[in-house]
Amino acid sequence: MAINWTEAQIEEVVASVIKSLGGAPKETGSWDATQYHGRKLIGIFEKMEDAIDAATAGYKAIRAMSLEEREKVIAAVRDLCRKEASVMAELGVAETGMGRAAHKTAKHLLVADKTPGTADIVSQVKTGDYGLTLTEMAPFGVVGSITPSTNPSETVLCNSIGMIAAGNGVVFNPHPNAIATSNYAVDLVNRASASAGGPKVLVASVVKPTLDTAQIMYRHPAIRLLVCTGGPGVVKSVLSSGKKAIGAGAGNPPVIVDDTADVRKAGKDIIDGCSFDNNLPCIAEKEVFAFANIADELIASMKENGAYQINLEQAARLADIVLVDSKNPETGIVKKIVSRECVGRDAAVLLKKIGVNVGDEVRCIICETDFEHPFVQNELMMPILPIVRVKNIDEAIDLAVKAEHGCRHTAHMHSKNIDNLTRFARAVETTIFVKNAPSYAGIGFGGEGHTTFTIAGPTGEGLTSARSYTRYRRCVMSDSFRII
Ligand code: NAD
């Protein structure tokens, strides 16, 4: 039996769901970051200084634990992450208004299953005429981690596993628009730690993260390493902090499809990747360069797989909505930035803004544009995919490299021509290069290799894991300990 609900009834149900999730009013940034369903979250502090002290105590406790004990804590984090994946996914969507709960659930399961633990920490030995030299990967101490709104709890959990495996304590300064979701994940790590014999507070966060609390974190002597996952502004700020920093910044991943590709599969793969969590992952397909002789077939395949094509006039109207003017207070220069009201929204919601009504079967909006179009040039982080026709591989590589803007983050290609694949990979110099698969294969989802939600292109750690959060220490034994 169909139920015909009025808008008022729907709003009432949404409000009651939001309330039951532990959140307060509907606008982002005003969620209760200290409790969930009346349960007080562990490891959440009013003051950043207190959070750092708690993480320092956590670091001291974990230093005293054996590797086996540390791995037990990590196993408990994985276990809770699996069990509460959908809770965090729903909370993330409700709090930020961005993404898709089913996809966020899948991302949490990926974190639980494929984030490396202590096995990632490997010692090296060199022996020779003068004895034995041992190199070990040691913790930094307390890591200060800045996390984004796009994968909030996923990043907190993935970073926590890696940083704890390396023997560190962690303090987070999460994105203010995703503070309830991020702090839920902080609490989860602490609950797991306590249940597995670890410290009650191993990782910590604050009630109200701001740029000021980030500055306190940068300057505090106990913080030995800063890890920043976010856009260009925040990466620049940590890299200017004067401390060792890992920066995982923005991208604008291009896709090339040449005329040797399995074009039907490429169309499906690209829409699967581009629409995953409404394009929030920084690795997701952002613009396509298709050989002109296969472009029609590619677009047809995309449409069969949930894409809705708009024309250039509609694209111009949509661009005026999803990109807004922003004035730099210091320089007075005005530039276009993405509207926070549109990032990570469903394709149907975005289409409605230009008067097109479609159902949830539409996963992605596609549009044929030229290279200069703002959809090509900007990292939109929403399911809008521009397609540019190109004559040949030279033009494809030239334009795709330019569209990536030197972020050296992620690029994709669908081709069976190994020369073309190799040429593009060499030219674009990205941290991740995915061939003939959806973008998420690059972070271990349907592809080989470990996962991470902190992809450090600017500072070179690449797909971070426990070893990225260590410092190398050498111990030399002169003239002894060789057994040959
Ligand atoms: P954002 O840049 O708006 O915010 C990231 C974090 O930085 C937040 O906690 C924010 O409060 C904080 N912040 C912003 N400016 C700051 C400053 N000057 N000093 C201190 N803290 C500051 O990011 P977002 O919108 O949540 O995430 C989207 C961006 O992050 C995209 O550009 C995306 O590509 C990038 N991202 C990159 C990766 C990666 O692994 N490379 C992963 C996720 C997101």
Give the domain CATH number at 301.
3.40.309.10
For residue 53, tell me if it sits in a domain: yes
**What pLDDT shows up at residue 4?**
44
Do 280 and 416 sit in the same domain of this protein? yes
348 and 387, same domain (yes or no): yes
Sign (positive or negative) of CA dihedral 405, 437, 284, 159:
negative
Q: Are residues 173 and 289 in the same domain?
A: no
Indicate if 46 and 177 belong to the same structural domain.
Answer: yes
Residues 283, 223, single domain; the answer is: no
Structural domain count, the chain: 2
Full residue range of the structural domain in which residue 390 is found: 254-447
**Pair (408, 439) in one structural domain:** yes
Residues lower than pLDDT 50 in the chain:
1-29
Residues 295 and 268 in one domain: yes
- Residue 306 in contact with ligand 1 by CB distance below 6 A: no
Instruction: State the distance from the centre of ligand 1 to the C-alpha of 149, rounded, in angstroms.
Output: 7
Query: For residue range 315-334, what is the model confidence (pLDDT) as tens digits?
Result: 999 999 999 999 888 889 99
Residue 26 covered by a domain: no
Residue 110 domain-assigned (yes or no):
yes
Q: Is the CB of 282 under 6 A from ligand 1?
A: yes
Could you tell me the two tokens for 314? Answer: 């509609």
pLDDT given at position 3: 39
For residue 116, tell me if it sits in a domain.
yes
Annotate 242-285 with DSSP letters as a single string: SS-EEEE-----EEEE-TTS-HHHHHHHHHHHHHGGGG-STTS-
318 and 180 share one domain: no
Ligand 1 atom 30: residue of nearest CA: 230
The pLDDT assigned to 219 comes to 97
CATH number, domain with residue 95:
3.40.605.10
Is position 223 within any domain? yes
Q: How would you classify residue 449: left for phi > 0, otherwise alpha for psi between -120 and 50, otherwise beta?
A: left
Among left, alpha and beta (phi > 0; psi -120 to 50; other), residue 332 is left
Q: What is the pLDDT of residue 266?
A: 98
Asked whether 237 lines ligand 1 (CB < 6 A), one says yes
Is residue 235 domain-shared with residue 111, that is, in the same domain? yes
Residue nearest to atom 7 of ligand 1 (CA): 234
- The answer to whether position 346 is within a domain reads yes
- pLDDT at residue 330, as a whole number: 85
Residue 406 in any domain: the answer is: yes
Rg of the chain (C-alpha set): 23
- The per-residue pLDDT for 31 is 84
Residues 284 and 197 in one domain: no
Whether residue 455 has its Cβ less than 6 Å from ligand 1: yes
Q: What is the pLDDT of residue 30?
A: 63
| 307 CB within 6 A, ligand 1 | no
